[in-house]
Amino acid sequence: MLQSIEGLYKHGQIELTELPKDISESRVIITFLESKKEQIKKQPMQFGMFAGNQQSTEADFEIAEFNGDSEDGLDWS
Q: How would you classify residue 68: left for phi > 0, otherwise alpha for psi between -120 and 50, otherwise beta?
A: left
pLDDT at 2 over 60: yes
How far is 20 from 17, CA to CA, in rounded Å?
10
Segment 23-68, tens digit of pLDDT:
889 998 888 887 766 556 666 777 666 667 777 788 888 888 877 7
| pLDDT at residue 48, as a whole number | 64
- pTM of the shown model: 0.38
